[in-house]
Structure 1
Amino acid sequence: MTEPEFRHYTAAEAREIRDTVEDVYRRSYGDAIASGDPFDSPEAFMLRFDAYTDPARGWGFDLVVACVEGATAGQTWGWPLRPGAAGWGGLHLDDGGLQDGDLKEFTAETGDRTFALSEIMVCAEHTGRGLARALHDELLDGRLEQRATLLVEPDNERAYTRYRKWGWYRVGWQRPSWENAPRFDVLILPLR
């Protein structure tokens, strides 16, 4: 693979390249879009993107866009979870023996405890070349948080296999509050 060039964008800057973000989504998730699932529609995806980049949130949003030979080839983004973050709403941890205090401790956020990796996507013509891992590493390398979290659909074997290989492990499941959201497995990666 030609070495990718990475560009980082804040939330405000990401909104300025909204068309590029949607284009990468369409070129990365063609099968999901074609399935007709309302959660995977480009319109629903972009509504979520707009919420993630809402200037009122000020979450430290970081978008990384990868370019290969001058063409946009993929993207990833995330943000640190702030105190009182809604990101853990509806979390069901795997260990059924946890007490309420344990769940509260697990989900207690300080602003520098957990980085939420929201998306990694690689355009279809660039898959299988290590770009997803390169995006992953570019976004997470140098983070100051203790851990990262992400959501993955349990039947997405390709992504799941890669995440495990990269050191992620399952801690439970969650169904986000987004309309038509599926049930996701919750994964964690220690960062330091």
Structure 2
Amino acid sequence: MTDRIFRRYDAAEARAHRDLVEDVYRRAYSAAIAADDPFESPEAFMTRFDAYTAPDRASRFELVTVTVDNTVVGQTWGWPLGPNSAWWRGLHLDDPDTDHTAFIDESGQRTFALSEIMVDPEYTGQGLAHSLHDELLNARSEERATLLVDPENPAAYTAYRKWGWARAGTLTPDWPDAPTFDVLMFKLGR
């Protein structure tokens, strides 16, 4: 494989590259799209992307892409969670002794939400997902990161655990047709 070129985009720049974002999604999720799950449809995915990057909600959103042989083959993005973040709605923590209110208390500087990470299937198994993960998270100043992972996706789940993520609970997002995900946490600034 030739050199990997990483590029960073803020929300406005990401919106300007909307077609590219959708193209990478269609390649990375082709099997899920073919299964006709309404949550995985390109239209539903791009509706979520538009919401994440909307000017009134896009504070400090960051997209990182990776290019190999002049083709963008992967992407990841996220943003810091602000006060009263909708991210935590419906959270069920595994540890009943954890103070729920303290766990979800956000300042905009405490938790970074890693929302998406995807790689074109032709390029999987080459460490690109991990490289994207590190490229996005290593530059963060927050104390922790969170992500939602489908517990029925063993490849992703195994990778996240190997990279240091730990399960904290479950959550079903407010998006139409959303499944229940496992909530994983990661300590930043290691």
Q: Give TM-score, length-normalised by structure 1.
A: 0.96
Spell out, residue by residue over 1:106-128, the C-alpha distance to the aligned partner (whole angstroms, 9 max, x if none).
00001110000000000111111
Take 2:57 and 2:128, find their aligned partners in 1: how far apart are those partners?
29
SS at match of 2:148: strand
Which residue number corresponds to residue 88 of structure 1?
Answer: 88
Take 2:58 and 2:75, find their aligned partners in 1: how far apart are those partners?
20
Q: 1:172 aligns with which of 144, 147, 169?
A: 169
SS at match of 1:120: strand
Deviation at residue 142 of structure 1 after TM alignment: 2.1
Deviation at residue 95 of structure 1 after TM alignment: 1.3
Deviation at residue 2 of structure 1 after TM alignment: 2.5
Deviation at residue 161 of structure 1 after TM alignment: 0.4
Which residue number corresponds to residue 48 of structure 1?
Answer: 48
Deviating 4+ runs (over 2 angstroms): none
| Letter matched to residue 73 of structure 1 | V
Let me know the Cα RMSD of the aligned residues: 0.8
SS at match of 2:146: strand
Deviation at residue 57 of structure 1 after TM alignment: 1.2
SS at match of 1:56: coil
| Letter matched to residue 130 of structure 2 | R
Structure 2, unpaired ranges of 5+: none
Take 1:110 and 1:86, find their aligned partners in 2: how far apart are those partners?
13
SS at match of 2:114: strand
Q: Identity rate of aligned residues, in percent?
A: 62
Which residue number corresponds to residue 138 of structure 2?
Answer: 141
SS at match of 2:12: helix
Spell out, residue by residue over 1:86-144, the C-alpha distance to the aligned partner (whole angstroms, 9 max, x if none).
1100000001344xxx1000000011100000000001111110000000000001210
SS at match of 1:125: helix
Structure 1, unpaired ranges of 5+: none
| Letter matched to residue 187 of structure 1 | L
Take 2:100 and 2:165, find their aligned partners in 1: how far apart are those partners?
19
Spell out, residue by residue over 1:18-66, the C-alpha distance to the aligned partner (whole angstroms, 9 max, x if none).
0000000000001100111000000000000000000011320000011
> Matches of residues 10-25 of structure 1 in structure 2 within 5 Å?
10-25=10-25
Which residue number corresponds to residue 110 of structure 1?
Answer: 107
Alpha-carbon contact 2:52-2:58 (below 8 Å) kept: no
Take 1:185 and 1:83, find their aligned partners in 2: how far apart are those partners?
22
Deviation at residue 84 of structure 1 after TM alignment: 1.2
Deviation at residue 187 of structure 1 after TM alignment: 0.1
Q: Give TM-score, length-normalised by structure 2.
A: 0.97
Take 1:33 and 1:107, find their aligned partners in 2: how far apart are those partners?
32
Q: How many correspondences in the alignment?
A: 189
**Aligned pair 1:125/2:131, yes or no?**
no
